[in-house]
Amino acid sequence: MYKHILIATDGSAIADRAIPHAIELAKALRAKLSAVTVVEPYDAVVESESHGDYNERSAENAAEILSAVSSATQAAGIECDALHQQNRLPYAGIIEAAEKIGADLIIVGSHGRRGIEGLLIGSQATKLLTHTNIPVLVVR
């Protein structure tokens, strides 16, 4: 069914809850698994540090976030490519990464906010669902 699954994470506990689901689904389907984290590009942040310093710190942070996925996939005996994507909008960065690698399923974690709170705060998962044609599995 799915041949290439993309798991998106920001390193939060909520995002990390989706990791075991992605791993088990990839194993069951014998699908390729990739992981992405999205950070804002340098020009979107306060310029209190140099471009090089920001990029270095950003890459280190992304590697730390993606290491949770990498550790879990290694323990499960499957491979996972790690992607560090820059975009002002996390959901847009996830979509860009998915399109770039040819993912046919995106897996994300979500708070599952509803009602007024969900309407006011919104979520990257909701934005992702409304802006992509790629199927999305939301793990609560």
**What pLDDT score was predicted for residue 121?**
42
Q: How far apart are CA 112 and CA 95, in angstroms?
A: 20
* pLDDT tens sequence across 66-121: 999 999 999 999 999 999 999 999 999 999 999 999 999 999 998 655 555 544 44
Burial label for 44, CB within 10 Å (0-12, 13-18, 19+), is exposed
Report strand pairing: 32-39 vs 4-8: parallel
Q: How far apart are CA 53 and CA 3, in angstroms?
A: 37
Please compute the mean of the pLDDT values over residues 130-139 and round it to a whole number. 96
Cut 0.85: pTM above it: yes
Domains annotated on the chain, with CATH: 4-139 (3.40.50.620)
**What pLDDT score was predicted for residue 129?**
92
